[in-house]
Structure 1
Amino acid sequence: MTGYGFQFLLLALFVVHVLTLNDATNLSLFQSINAMGARLPAWLVSAITDLGNGTTLGVIVLCYLVKRPELTLRVVVAAILSLLMVPLIKDYFAAPRPAAILEYLNIIGETRHTNSFPSGHTATDFLFAVTIFLVSKCNKVKLGLIAVAAIVGASRIMVGAHWPADVVMGAIVGALCAYGALLLAPLVKLTDTLRLRSYLVLLVVILLCELDKGYDADAFWQVIMLRWIWFSVCAGLIWQFWKRTHRAAKLEG
């Protein structure tokens, strides 16, 4: 049972989405939030929006899975659902981004013009936040996760990449993918050996995806540094887990 928390969250997102379907409201919200991004340090806004980047969030999620291994299968299933749904919706609507329509706006990072709806960064962030939301019993944790995911979503407007309607629908898609994973993937108990292999495979896949992107000339050095700090933290956690299991195996032997 997911309780009323998820139902309320989903209802709130749909209500906000209906409001953003009005072009005037969507534009007004975009201009207000986008202007906020112009008043903040560009590197900070970029660092916040990077928390929805697939590789950055992927390695953060992997850090969490080292502590909560029973969620590994569920997170993987949710990610697969998102990887299937988001591109399909983007291609179907082929909505123009703000830079393709507006003459004046604040843009941080790469300028894109197509496939605006929905926001993939927001979908990814809400996917992870709602996955934990559905299993957590602490209301402070739930509210904190949704707040962080919402801030990341708002940053997509601040950098000029998405309309508010894109962000809200991204949140809905991410939440539904997390709920779908709840129905499809049970919590699983993994052996220490399988846990270690899973962590290493996931880390290598995420690392290869990061290296495959190549050098981004528009990226701020602070963002790149933070991203590699997360990779270092993740590798350290996996190393500590291996040492604990290796020591335990020697004692048993």
Structure 2
Amino acid sequence: MILLFIQDNIRCDWLTGIICEVTTMGNKGLIWLVLLLFLLIYPKTRKLGMVAGISFLICVGVAETIKNLVMRPRPFLSMAELVPLVKPPHSYSFPSVHTVSSFSVAWILLWSQEGKAVRYTVFAFALLMAFSRLYVGVHYPSDVLTGILLAFLGSYAVWRWQGHKTK
């Protein structure tokens, strides 16, 4: 299984510290809320911040609803050999809300007119956040992939509805 492969072959001391910090930044969507705040503060990016914020709220709301409907247990509860590297979450596993919150903002920025460095850095950080959930052992790969897809669909709908207002 992928999670055990990561645990047995990729985890190492220097990387674990970094990945645990990254995953912690995603708790409650904190890093993304801070980014949204910065986008909203500056007049040049305010409209983009509003669109990304709408995407964040809708996507996270849908993900939390699905999570509580599906009620999938965390992988470390069904795989005794999997050791989580962070305090085990008490919520359900499917989908990964860390991933949804990350990509709900990252997709919007990727489609925007912001500079390439900003767009690609945010998108790369969203990918790292998604990977971190696997690395720390609190999500199945399908939780993360579904989170990326769910955020894509929600963000795309918001972008089609409001994206033209970012210019």
TM-score, normalised relative to structure 2 = 0.83
Q: Which amino acid aligns with 1:64?
A: L
Please name the residue that 1:128 is paired with: 105
Please name the residue that 2:2 is paired with: 29
Matches within 5 A, 1:1-253: 28-35=1-8, 36-40=10-14, 42-53=16-27, 54-67=29-42, 68-112=45-89, 115-136=92-113, 141-186=118-163, 187=165
Runs (5+) with no aligned partner, structure 2: none
Q: Which amino acid aligns with 2:23?
A: T
Q: Which amino acid aligns with 2:5?
A: S
Post-superposition, which runs of at least 4 consecutive aligned residues in structure 1 deviate over 3 A? Answer: 37-43, 136-145
Runs (5+) with no aligned partner, structure 1: 1-27, 190-253
* Distance in structure 1 (CA, Å) of the matches to 2:31 and 2:121: 19
Query: Which secondary structure does the structure 2 equivalent of 1:180 belong to?
Result: helix
* Distance in structure 2 (CA, Å) of the matches to 1:64 and 1:137: 11
Max Rg structure? 1
> How far did residue 176 of structure 1 move?
1.8
Note the alpha carbon deviations across 1:70-127, whole angstroms, 9 max, x for none: 2132122112212321012112221111111111123122213651111000111111
* Distance in structure 1 (CA, Å) of the matches to 2:121 and 2:21: 18
> How far did residue 183 of structure 1 move?
2.3
* Distance in structure 2 (CA, Å) of the matches to 1:79 and 1:159: 23
The change in CA–CA distance for 1:52 and 1:112 in structure 2 (over 3 A counts) is closer
* Distance in structure 1 (CA, Å) of the matches to 2:123 and 2:15: 23
Q: Which amino acid aligns with 2:41?
A: V
Note the alpha carbon deviations across 1:191-234, whole angstroms, 9 max, x for none: xxxxxxxxxxxxxxxxxxxxxxxxxxxxxxxxxxxxxxxxxxxx
* Cα RMSD, aligned residues only: 2.4
* Distance in structure 1 (CA, Å) of the matches to 2:129 and 2:13: 17
* Distance in structure 2 (CA, Å) of the matches to 1:177 and 1:83: 9
Question: What count of residue pairs does the alignment treat as equivalent?
Answer: 162
* Distance in structure 2 (CA, Å) of the matches to 1:157 and 1:145: 19
Q: Which amino acid aligns with 2:122?
A: L
